[in-house]
């Protein structure tokens, strides 16, 4: 049996090497052919589509009469790629071969009366001033430059935003001071044939395409596991090893141990932004679902087989209660914070310890903190044919709060 298992793992590792794009193997699911990825054109993967023509509702709605001002877009109708409801598990050797494309309405988050907060909704727009000084000299295609100069900016931003001040500012997570905030990984995404370009100083890392699949970056199991990994010496795939001396860990093992024991709150948060100083994001923008509208029903675990570890993401099947939002024309100075896991989130507390989904939509505590925000790139029907390509970065950060008394 052990020999068979080794052969299966070896076969999986070979597939990782041979397949240039992520490929997802679904249990109990039909899947689209990888040939539809249009990788030669650098199109996002899997394929993103417009809403069905037979849908009587308009593909986009303006607040003005003649539709001359894109900034007044109220909402757009498009398709999002969910997994099929019958899917139980997804195993990655890195292949997407199928999904369930669903017509959805994505509202303009700039036009709603709601103020978006990371702790409540799972995402938050930082309108200006991500950097205390101009950062347009950073070469975002140079991994070392990003780690040396941009990672500290992301860490500073989270420390300032998340530190509880005792006032009524809902953007601050009320859990006391921040013990540490450390950036540990990032992805560059480009929606043209420049995708696949090897990044400077990245140890073989390449620019990726925008991902048009509804997902969350961590699960009940992989969130705590990733935090633990950051308290250990880096592994082969850890880009942050370049920031440390041999044998060091990124996070203090004692802080991490206390967080995993429930004595400290921790969260994994992405800092997402446009890296083109000359153009706003017009192609394949990013949409986030309000975490208060996402029950555990429909969450599916995706297993990602890396060379030195197995990661887990959540994919999701469609639920009518999902409410989607995006922030059109994001500029170089704006940033979108997206929560990927929160140990104090309402959903984190009701998921069973073995990561089995045991709750229903009615069991979600809508008044509790968000645990994560599922998200996806999408095809915006208002995008002009000559729109510049999307160029973006997402930096993954770990945050640990002061000890809970």
Ramachandran region, residue 51 (left: φ > 0; alpha: ψ -120 to 50; beta: rest)? beta
**pLDDT above 90: residue 201:** no
pLDDT band at 75 (very low <50, low <70, confident <90, very high): confident
The single-letter DSSP state of residue 71 is G
Instruction: Give the Cα separation of 104 and 117 in Å (integer).
Output: 23
Question: pLDDT (tens digit, 9 = 90+) per residue, 202-211?
Answer: 666 788 989 9
pLDDT at position 391: 96
Residue 156, exposed/middle/buried by CB under 10 A (0-12, 13-18, 19+)?
middle
Query: Does 46 sit behind a cis peptide bond, omega within 30 degrees of 0 on the bond before it?
Result: yes
Question: pLDDT (tens digit, 9 = 90+) per residue, 278-291?
Answer: 999 999 999 999 99
pLDDT band at 130 (very low <50, low <70, confident <90, very high): confident
pLDDT at position 341: 98
Instruction: Give the Cα separation of 273 and 71 in Å (integer).
Output: 18
Those residues with Cβ within 8 angstroms of residue 203's Cβ, 6 or more apart along the chain or in another chain? 143, 239
pLDDT at position 46: 58
Residue spans of the domains in the chain: they are 2-51+73-403
Structure tokens at 58: 């308009």
Structure tokens at 245: 């001396």
Those residues with Cβ within 8 angstroms of residue 303's Cβ, 6 or more apart along the chain or in another chain? 89, 90, 91, 92, 310, 311, 312
pLDDT band at 355 (very low <50, low <70, confident <90, very high): very low
**pLDDT above 60: residue 330:** yes
pTM score, whole prediction? 0.79
**pLDDT above 70: residue 358:** no
**pLDDT above 50: residue 21:** no
């Amino acid at each position: 049996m052990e020999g068979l298992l080794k052969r299966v793992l070896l076969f999986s590792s070979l597939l990782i090497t041979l397949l240039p794009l992520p490929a997802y193997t679904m249990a109990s699911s039909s899947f689209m052919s990888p040939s539809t990825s249009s990788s030669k054109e650098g199109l996002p993967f899997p394929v993103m589509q417009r809403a069905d023509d037979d849908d009587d509702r308009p593909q986009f709605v303006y607040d003005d009469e003649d539709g001359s001002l894109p900034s007044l877009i109220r909402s757009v109708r498009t398709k999002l790629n969910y997994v099929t409801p019958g899917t139980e598990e997804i195993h990655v050797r890195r292949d997407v071969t199928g999904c369930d494309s669903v017509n959805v309405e994505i509202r303009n988050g700039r036009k709603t009366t709601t103020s978006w907060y990371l702790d409540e909704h799972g995402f938050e727009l930082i309108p200006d001033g991500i950097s205390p000084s101009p950062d347009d000299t950073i070469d975002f295609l140079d991994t070392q430059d990003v780690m040396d100069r941009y990672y500290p900016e992301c860490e500073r931003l989270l420390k300032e935003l998340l530190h509880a001040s005792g006032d009524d500012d809902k953007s601050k997570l009320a859990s006391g001071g921040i013990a540490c905030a450390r950036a540990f990984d990032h992805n560059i995404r480009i929606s043209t044939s420049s995708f696949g370009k090897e990044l400077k100083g990245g140890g073989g890392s390449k620019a990726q395409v925008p991902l048009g699949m509804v997902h969350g970056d961590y699960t009940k199991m992989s969130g705590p596991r990733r935090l633990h990994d950051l308290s250990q010496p880096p592994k082969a795939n850890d880009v942050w090893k370049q920031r440390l001396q041999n044998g060091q860990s990124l996070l203090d093992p004692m802080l991490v141990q206390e967080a995993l024991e429930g004595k400290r709150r921790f969260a994994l948060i992405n800092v997402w932004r446009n890296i083109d100083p000359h153009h706003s994001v017009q192609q394949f923008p990013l949409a986030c679902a309000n975490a208060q509208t996402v029950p555990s029903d429909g969450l599916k675990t995706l297993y990602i087989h890396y060379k030195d570890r197995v990661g887990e993401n959540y994919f999701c099947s469609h639920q009518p209660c999902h409410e989607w939002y995006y922030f059109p024309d994001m500029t170089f100075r704006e940033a979108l914070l997206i929560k990927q896991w929160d140990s104090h989130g309402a959903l984190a507390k009701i998921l069973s310890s073995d990561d089995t989904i045991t709750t229903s939509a009615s069991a979600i505590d809508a008044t509790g903190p968000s645990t994560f925000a599922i998200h996806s790139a999408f095809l915006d029907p208002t995008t002009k044919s000559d729109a510049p390509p999307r160029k973006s970065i997402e930096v993954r950060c770990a945050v640990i709060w002061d000890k809970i008394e």
